[in-house]
Chains A and B, each alone.
Chain A
Amino acid sequence: DTAVSQTPKYLVTQMGNDKSIKCEQNLGHDTMYWYKQDSKKFLKIMFSYNNKELIINETVPNRFSPKSPDKAHLNLHINSLELGDSAVYFCASSWTSGEKLFFGSGTQLSVL
Protein backbone atom coordinates (compact mmCIF):
# COMPACT_ATOMS: atom_id res chain seq x y z
CA ASP A 1 0.00 0.00 0.00
CA THR A 2 2.52 2.58 -1.17
CA ALA A 3 1.20 6.06 -0.44
CA VAL A 4 3.09 7.88 -3.19
CA SER A 5 4.38 5.70 -5.98
CA GLN A 6 6.42 6.77 -8.95
CA THR A 7 7.71 4.81 -11.90
CA PRO A 8 10.17 3.96 -13.14
CA LYS A 9 12.70 3.72 -10.31
CA TYR A 10 15.60 3.98 -12.74
CA LEU A 11 15.67 5.55 -16.18
CA VAL A 12 18.73 5.44 -18.41
CA THR A 13 18.42 7.11 -21.78
CA GLN A 14 20.30 8.87 -24.53
CA MET A 15 20.54 12.61 -25.02
CA GLY A 16 17.78 14.00 -27.16
CA ASN A 17 15.21 11.38 -26.20
CA ASP A 18 11.78 12.10 -24.70
CA LYS A 19 10.79 10.33 -21.50
CA SER A 20 8.01 10.36 -18.91
CA ILE A 21 7.88 9.67 -15.19
CA LYS A 22 4.57 8.74 -13.64
CA CYS A 23 3.35 9.49 -10.11
CA GLU A 24 0.28 8.40 -8.22
CA GLN A 25 -0.83 9.03 -4.64
CA ASN A 26 -3.56 7.18 -2.77
CA LEU A 27 -3.67 9.50 0.25
CA GLY A 28 -6.48 11.69 -1.00
CA HIS A 29 -4.18 14.74 -1.01
CA ASP A 30 -5.10 17.83 -2.94
CA THR A 31 -1.58 18.96 -3.79
CA MET A 32 1.16 17.18 -5.70
CA TYR A 33 4.72 18.22 -6.52
CA TRP A 34 7.78 17.39 -8.55
CA TYR A 35 11.17 17.96 -6.99
CA LYS A 36 14.63 17.56 -8.46
CA GLN A 37 17.51 16.42 -6.24
CA ASP A 38 20.88 17.27 -7.69
CA SER A 39 24.29 15.78 -6.95
CA LYS A 40 24.69 18.07 -3.92
CA LYS A 41 21.46 16.61 -2.54
CA PHE A 42 19.53 19.87 -2.68
CA LEU A 43 15.83 19.32 -3.25
CA LYS A 44 14.43 21.95 -5.60
CA ILE A 45 10.77 22.43 -6.35
CA MET A 46 9.89 22.20 -10.01
CA PHE A 47 6.10 22.15 -10.12
CA SER A 48 3.15 22.05 -7.78
CA TYR A 49 -0.44 21.20 -8.65
CA ASN A 50 -3.49 21.75 -6.46
CA ASN A 51 -6.64 19.95 -7.55
CA LYS A 52 -5.22 19.51 -11.04
CA GLU A 53 -4.36 23.20 -11.32
CA LEU A 54 -0.77 24.37 -11.70
CA ILE A 55 0.13 26.65 -8.78
CA ILE A 56 3.93 26.62 -8.74
CA ASN A 57 6.11 26.62 -11.82
CA GLU A 58 9.68 27.39 -10.88
CA THR A 59 12.31 28.33 -13.40
CA VAL A 60 12.37 25.07 -15.25
CA PRO A 61 13.14 24.63 -18.96
CA ASN A 62 9.96 24.29 -20.97
CA ARG A 63 11.23 20.88 -22.06
CA PHE A 64 9.70 19.76 -18.76
CA SER A 65 5.93 19.53 -18.86
CA PRO A 66 3.82 18.24 -15.98
CA LYS A 67 0.41 16.74 -16.62
CA SER A 68 -2.23 16.07 -13.99
CA PRO A 69 -5.13 14.00 -15.37
CA ASP A 70 -6.74 13.94 -11.92
CA LYS A 71 -5.73 14.99 -8.44
CA ALA A 72 -4.25 11.58 -7.65
CA HIS A 73 -1.82 11.65 -10.58
CA LEU A 74 0.95 14.00 -11.63
CA ASN A 75 3.18 12.89 -14.47
CA LEU A 76 6.34 14.55 -15.70
CA HIS A 77 7.25 14.53 -19.36
CA ILE A 78 10.71 15.61 -20.47
CA ASN A 79 11.53 16.41 -24.08
CA SER A 80 14.94 16.48 -25.72
CA LEU A 81 16.81 15.21 -22.67
CA GLU A 82 20.16 16.80 -21.88
CA LEU A 83 23.12 15.60 -19.82
CA GLY A 84 22.30 18.16 -17.13
CA ASP A 85 18.90 16.60 -16.60
CA SER A 86 20.57 13.66 -14.86
CA ALA A 87 19.33 13.71 -11.27
CA VAL A 88 16.86 12.05 -8.94
CA TYR A 89 13.30 13.26 -9.42
CA PHE A 90 10.88 12.99 -6.52
CA CYS A 91 7.15 13.18 -6.61
CA ALA A 92 5.42 14.29 -3.42
CA SER A 93 1.96 15.12 -2.16
CA SER A 94 0.35 16.95 0.75
CA TRP A 95 -3.09 18.02 1.95
CA THR A 96 -2.41 21.62 1.06
CA SER A 97 0.62 23.71 0.24
CA GLY A 98 2.96 24.03 3.19
CA GLU A 99 1.78 20.90 4.94
CA LYS A 100 3.82 17.76 5.55
CA LEU A 101 5.08 16.27 2.33
CA PHE A 102 4.84 12.60 1.52
CA PHE A 103 7.50 11.64 -0.98
CA GLY A 104 7.75 8.86 -3.50
CA SER A 105 10.92 6.80 -3.59
CA GLY A 106 12.41 8.75 -6.47
CA THR A 107 13.34 8.16 -10.08
CA GLN A 108 17.02 8.19 -10.87
CA LEU A 109 17.41 9.61 -14.35
CA SER A 110 20.71 9.12 -16.14
CA VAL A 111 21.17 10.81 -19.50
CA LEU A 112 24.08 9.44 -21.50
Chain B
Amino acid sequence: KNQVEQSPQSLIILEGKNCTLQCNYTVSPFSNLRWYKQDTGRGPVSLTIMTFSENTKSNGRYTATLDADTKQSSLHITASQLSDSASYICVVTRMDSSYKLIFGSGTRLLVRP
Protein backbone atom coordinates (compact mmCIF):
# COMPACT_ATOMS: atom_id res chain seq x y z
CA LYS B 1 0.00 0.00 0.00
CA ASN B 2 1.36 3.44 -0.90
CA GLN B 3 1.71 5.41 2.29
CA VAL B 4 3.70 8.28 3.75
CA GLU B 5 4.09 8.46 7.52
CA GLN B 6 5.59 11.36 9.39
CA SER B 7 6.88 11.68 12.91
CA PRO B 8 6.58 13.22 15.34
CA GLN B 9 3.02 14.40 14.92
CA SER B 10 3.89 17.59 16.78
CA LEU B 11 7.00 19.14 18.22
CA ILE B 12 7.78 22.10 20.48
CA ILE B 13 11.28 23.52 20.60
CA LEU B 14 12.95 26.67 21.87
CA GLU B 15 14.09 29.35 19.49
CA GLY B 16 17.64 28.77 18.34
CA LYS B 17 17.52 25.00 18.80
CA ASN B 18 17.80 22.43 16.02
CA CYS B 19 15.25 19.76 15.21
CA THR B 20 14.75 16.86 12.84
CA LEU B 21 11.49 15.71 11.30
CA GLN B 22 11.07 12.21 9.90
CA CYS B 23 9.26 10.81 6.88
CA ASN B 24 8.94 7.10 6.07
CA TYR B 25 7.29 5.96 2.89
CA THR B 26 6.22 2.77 1.19
CA VAL B 27 5.45 4.39 -2.16
CA SER B 28 6.53 2.48 -5.24
CA PRO B 29 7.62 3.13 -7.91
CA PHE B 30 9.31 6.20 -6.45
CA SER B 31 9.82 9.36 -8.47
CA ASN B 32 10.69 12.09 -5.99
CA LEU B 33 10.07 13.37 -2.48
CA ARG B 34 9.25 16.92 -1.51
CA TRP B 35 9.01 18.71 1.79
CA TYR B 36 6.41 21.45 2.03
CA LYS B 37 5.97 24.08 4.73
CA GLN B 38 2.43 25.12 5.57
CA ASP B 39 1.97 28.24 7.67
CA THR B 40 -1.29 28.56 9.59
CA GLY B 41 -4.04 29.74 7.29
CA ARG B 42 -1.91 29.41 4.18
CA GLY B 43 -1.31 26.85 1.47
CA PRO B 44 1.79 24.61 1.54
CA VAL B 45 4.99 25.93 -0.04
CA SER B 46 7.69 23.66 -1.44
CA LEU B 47 10.99 23.67 0.47
CA THR B 48 13.03 20.94 -1.23
CA ILE B 49 12.80 18.16 -3.76
CA MET B 50 14.81 14.94 -3.57
CA THR B 51 15.16 12.48 -6.42
CA PHE B 52 16.30 8.88 -6.17
CA SER B 53 19.99 9.67 -6.62
CA GLU B 54 20.16 12.54 -4.14
CA ASN B 55 21.14 12.04 -0.50
CA THR B 56 21.16 15.58 0.83
CA LYS B 57 19.79 18.91 -0.25
CA SER B 58 19.85 22.21 1.60
CA ASN B 59 17.68 25.30 1.40
CA GLY B 60 19.02 27.86 3.85
CA ARG B 61 18.57 26.51 7.36
CA TYR B 62 16.59 23.53 6.03
CA THR B 63 18.47 20.35 5.09
CA ALA B 64 16.65 17.36 3.69
CA THR B 65 18.12 13.86 3.47
CA LEU B 66 16.93 10.83 1.59
CA ASP B 67 17.80 7.17 2.02
CA ALA B 68 16.14 5.44 -0.91
CA ASP B 69 17.17 2.00 0.37
CA THR B 70 15.35 2.33 3.68
CA LYS B 71 12.72 4.66 2.20
CA GLN B 72 13.29 7.32 4.78
CA SER B 73 13.71 11.07 4.59
CA SER B 74 14.41 13.68 7.21
CA LEU B 75 14.15 17.44 7.36
CA HIS B 76 16.64 19.10 9.67
CA ILE B 77 16.06 22.68 10.77
CA THR B 78 19.08 24.52 12.12
CA ALA B 79 18.97 27.45 14.55
CA SER B 80 15.19 27.57 14.57
CA GLN B 81 13.33 30.85 14.37
CA LEU B 82 9.84 31.78 15.46
CA SER B 83 8.83 31.93 11.80
CA ASP B 84 9.63 28.22 11.46
CA SER B 85 6.45 27.48 13.40
CA ALA B 86 4.32 25.67 10.82
CA SER B 87 3.29 22.24 9.59
CA TYR B 88 5.84 20.38 7.52
CA ILE B 89 4.42 17.96 5.00
CA CYS B 90 6.30 15.17 3.24
CA VAL B 91 4.98 14.37 -0.24
CA VAL B 92 6.15 11.42 -2.31
CA THR B 93 5.50 11.22 -6.04
CA ARG B 94 4.63 7.81 -7.40
CA MET B 95 5.22 7.23 -11.06
CA ASP B 96 3.69 4.36 -12.97
CA SER B 97 1.27 5.13 -15.77
CA SER B 98 0.93 8.64 -14.40
CA TYR B 99 2.18 10.75 -11.55
CA LYS B 100 0.40 10.49 -8.25
CA LEU B 101 1.26 12.49 -5.13
CA ILE B 102 1.03 10.77 -1.76
CA PHE B 103 0.84 13.18 1.17
CA GLY B 104 1.91 12.62 4.76
CA SER B 105 -0.23 14.14 7.49
CA GLY B 106 2.51 16.52 8.52
CA THR B 107 4.47 17.46 11.62
CA ARG B 108 3.31 20.55 13.48
CA LEU B 109 6.30 22.48 14.75
CA LEU B 110 6.01 25.21 17.34
CA VAL B 111 9.06 27.33 18.06
CA ARG B 112 8.86 29.17 21.37
CA PRO B 113 10.88 32.22 22.38
0 or 1 for each of A44-60: is its CB under 8 Å from B? (1 = yes): 11000000000100000
0 or 1 for each of B88-110: is its CB under 8 Å from A? (1 = yes): 01000101001101010110100
Q: Which residues of A contact B49 (CB under 8 A)?
A: 100
The residue in chain B whose Cβ has the minimal distance to the Cβ of A40 is B105
The residue in chain A whose Cβ has the minimal distance to the Cβ of B42 is A105
Q: Which residues of B contact A104 (CB under 8 A)?
A: 43
Q: Which residues of A contact B43 (CB under 8 A)?
A: 4, 90, 92, 103-106
How many pairs of A and B residues are in contact by the CB < 8 Å rule?
A: 44
0 or 1 for each of A19-57: is its CB under 8 Å from B? (1 = yes): 000000000000000000000111111000000000100
Q: Are B106 and A41 in contact (CB under 8 A)?
A: yes
The residue in chain A whose Cβ has the minimal distance to the Cβ of B49 is A100
Interface of A is mostly: loop
- Nearest Cβ in chain A — how far from B48, in angstroms? 10
For the complex, give the distance between the alpha carbons of A40 and B9 in Å.
10
Q: Are A98 and B99 in contact (CB under 8 A)?
A: yes
- Nearest Cβ in chain B — how far from A110, in angstroms? 14
For the complex, give the distance between the alpha carbons of A98 and B79 in Å.
32
Contact A43 B44, CB 8 Å, known A98-B31, A100-B34, A100-B49: yes
Q: Are B46 and A98 in contact (CB under 8 A)?
A: no
The reply on A101 being an interface residue by CB < 8 A is: yes
Q: Which residues of B contact A103 (CB under 8 A)?
A: 42-45
The 7 closest A-B CB pairs, nearest first, are A103-B43, A98-B99, A97-B99, A43-B103, A100-B46, A98-B93, A42-B105
Residues of B within 8 A of A (CB): 31-32, 34, 36, 41-46, 49, 87, 89, 93, 95, 98-99, 101, 103, 105-106, 108
Residues of A within 8 A of B (CB): 4, 40-45, 55, 90, 92, 96-98, 100-101, 103-106
